[in-house]
Amino acid sequence: MSLLRVLLFFLLGAILAGCGKKNPPPAAVSASGPFRITVQLDWVPEPEHGGFYQAQARGFFRDAGLDVVLLPGGPNANVMQNVATGRADIGQADSTNTLVAINNQDLPVIQIGAVFQNDPSVLILHPDSPVNRFEDLNGKTLIARPQWAFLPYLRKKYEIDFQVVPQNFSVAKFVADKSVIQQGYYIAEPYHIMKAGGPKPKYLYAWGAGFDAYTVLIANRDWAAAHAEQVKAFMRAYIHGWQDYLQGDPAPAHRLLKEANRNNTDDFLEFSREMIVHENLVTGRTNGGPAQIGRISPERFATQIKQLEDLEILRPPGKLKVDRVMTTQYLP
């Protein structure tokens, strides 16, 4: 056998041996391609969704083997129903409304992680308003969602009463009338108030009264159980997205946010992100830090369930158990 034939023989053997060794695909990738996950946002795309859009823009979802579709929300987003019926797999919501929906409608949804450790819902006031404490709300008129559970909580805790005018998501009345007290997201409405010529407002934070809800990610319970590895991959990429959005360059997310919502301007995006950072909403205001991103606590949910039971919003007492409404099994 010639030297050339010997070399060719061994070369062919090496090639055939290599063909039998295939690199395994990433854990979340199926043989048919990326796994699609549809996410229903609670509002129009804004910096409160920065973790999603940074993960999308930077390829964190793609690298996890996922094809994530983000559905814009709004006043009539119907997040809970869309997730419960399978029109979306995951959604963004607040923990209070989620608890009420699970209790009253027995919806098959479960809370799988946190967006904000503290729900940024506040009462917005003019800077020279005589209202400085929750007790000062007695006899006042508030513009708010009538179904906001924080309102009966205030009445009971502080033994006060006030009138409620339904909110229409406009800041025009606030700008025009110094006596107006309005519910809002303090990471958004203040910008629009000042842009419309109003003053920099002051706030009464819901968490300051001990009503400390989360903004959460919810999933269809059955869908999540059937696709546990993909949900875990999603949560890893989502948390990575928030870390990168808060600590790195937010420009990739902001580019997509402007494409998804034409009302987003550079200065609004910068303002809202700074408000999120300033109050440590994602990382946690108390004992917080990057390790807390996405985390949810059974103890906090037990407290919130008890508060809502005391207000007779959740009935009967004892019906709703913590393990029915939340899980940490999908968190990294």
Contact (Cβ atoms closer than 8 angstroms) between residue 122 and residue 203: yes
**Maximum CA pair distance of the chain?**
104
pLDDT, one tens digit for every residue, the chain (332 residues): 443 333 333 333 443 344 433 333 344 456 679 999 999 999 999 999 999 999 999 999 999 999 999 999 998 899 999 999 999 999 999 999 999 999 999 999 999 999 999 999 999 999 999 999 999 999 999 999 999 999 999 999 999 999 999 999 899 999 999 999 999 999 999 999 999 999 999 999 999 999 999 999 999 999 999 999 999 999 999 999 999 999 999 999 999 999 999 999 999 999 999 999 999 999 998 888 999 999 999 999 999 999 999 999 999 999 999 999 999 999 99
Task: Find out if CATH 3.40.190.10 is the number for domain 121-209.
Answer: yes
Residue type, 267: D
CA-based nearest residue to 241, from 74, 93, 110, 55 = 55
Taking each helix axis from N to C end, the angle separating 298-310 and 95-105, rounded to the nearest 10 degrees, works out to: 70
Give the residues across from 283 on adjacent strands.
Answer: none
Q: What beta strand segments (E) does 126-168 contain? A: 141-144, 163-166
Query: So where are the chain's domains?
Result: 35-118+213-325, 121-209
Fold classified for 35-118+213-325 = D-Maltodextrin-Binding Protein; domain 2 (3.40.190)
Query: What per-residue confidence (pLDDT) applies to 5?
Result: 37
Six token digits for residue 6: 């010997």
What does the pLDDT read at residue 30?
61
Strand order in the sheet with 163-166: 163-166, 141-144, 181-185, 121-125, 202-205
Fold match, 35-118+213-325 / 121-209: yes
Q: What is the pLDDT of residue 29?
A: 55
Give dist(CA 312, CA 306) in Å, integer. 10
Sequence-ordered list of residues with C-beta below 8 angstroms from that of 115, at least 6 positions apart, any chain: 48, 51, 92, 214, 215, 216, 217, 282
Peptide bond into 316 cis (omega under 30): yes
7 CB-contact burial (10 Å; exposed 0-12 / middle 13-18 / buried 19+): exposed
Q: Pairing relation of β-strands 121-125 and 202-205? A: antiparallel
User: Which residues face 38 on adjacent strands?
Assistant: 69
State residue 283's pLDDT score: 98
SS3 state at 232:
helix
Q: Of 266, 288, 247, which is closest to residue 116 (Cα–Cα)?
A: 288
